[in-house]
Structure 1
Amino acid sequence: MAVMQELKKIGLNYITVDLGVVTLPEDITKEQKNQLKQALHSSGLELIEDKKDILVEQIKTAVIESIHYSDTQLKVPFSAYLSNKLNLNYTYLSNMFTESEGITIAHFIITHKIERVKELIQYDELTFSEIAYKMHYSSIAHLSNQFKKMTGITLSFYKTHGQRREINIENL
């Protein structure tokens, strides 16, 4: 919504505005681009122009959408999902992501899965087994081990003593 508002203020028409991507009907002038950069910056956002950075953001967006905003289980490994979605070789995606972010895609995925698990625990609507299944863990033991490894505490301890997440998903 913030991006759409900034585009309207500048007088730029757009075709679509999705998470991390804006499609414009035509090229914009250098002056319009600078206005957009400044407007986005004042809203706490940034314009990404480097193709490598754009691809890294597309990887992040795909992971976040899949883990946080979709209840559909992937029928293929995450590597195949990303390769198909971005139409690029996974090894290339992985190497570029690691070079840019300093962590692997797998670590990024695990970090987001654990944050989603925390959220589901806080909702207190699902059992640990249901959460493990929903988050595509092979077993509750696998989820428990990964949760403890990432957070330093057990699922049960988090459930009884956990605090509300105060980290924005995009900043993980």
Structure 2
Amino acid sequence: MSEENPNQDEKKGGKKTAGIVILVLVILVLAGIIIYLLLFRRADEKERRNEVVTPDNVGEIIGQMEEAEFVEPGYYTVTMNYDWHFATGDAVSSDAYVENLVENTNAVYFDLFLASDEENAIYKSPVIPVGGRLQDIALDTKLDAGTYDCVAVYHLVDDDQNTISTLRVTVTVIVEG
């Protein structure tokens, strides 16, 4: 003959109810955290600045661009050589060229700066239309003989020549004499 204590049933039922309440609260807290991260996480991301593309990091930059979300129409495939040779500081280059391929969507122009002085352009290109090629480049600023690390800053432009976006590429300028 067993006697059941009515308090034992209440204790079992109370523990069960408390366990369910705790489980529901944990689920609600986790759902709240997930919703917060999805909605507000992007606002905390910092703006990324353009990076200079070099032959050494081009693969890494392409990988980052492929992973990045699409932001705006207009992209540019840089088709050019990266070493520009000049017989003298005021001569036309024997090998410098820049192409704006027909696959590109916008016209482009670029300014060339010495890497040590990005305030004063040593060359300012005309606007290169889609499908156009620029060659026979002569610097706007005469340079002494030597090798110069430079940065070409490309501007993708719309029909009114307003800049849509920019791209920075390293160029080596070699003045022979």
Q: TM-score, normalised by structure 1?
A: 0.22
Which of the pair has more CA radius of gyration? 2
Which has the larger helix fraction?
1
More RCO (CA 8 Å, sep 6+): 2
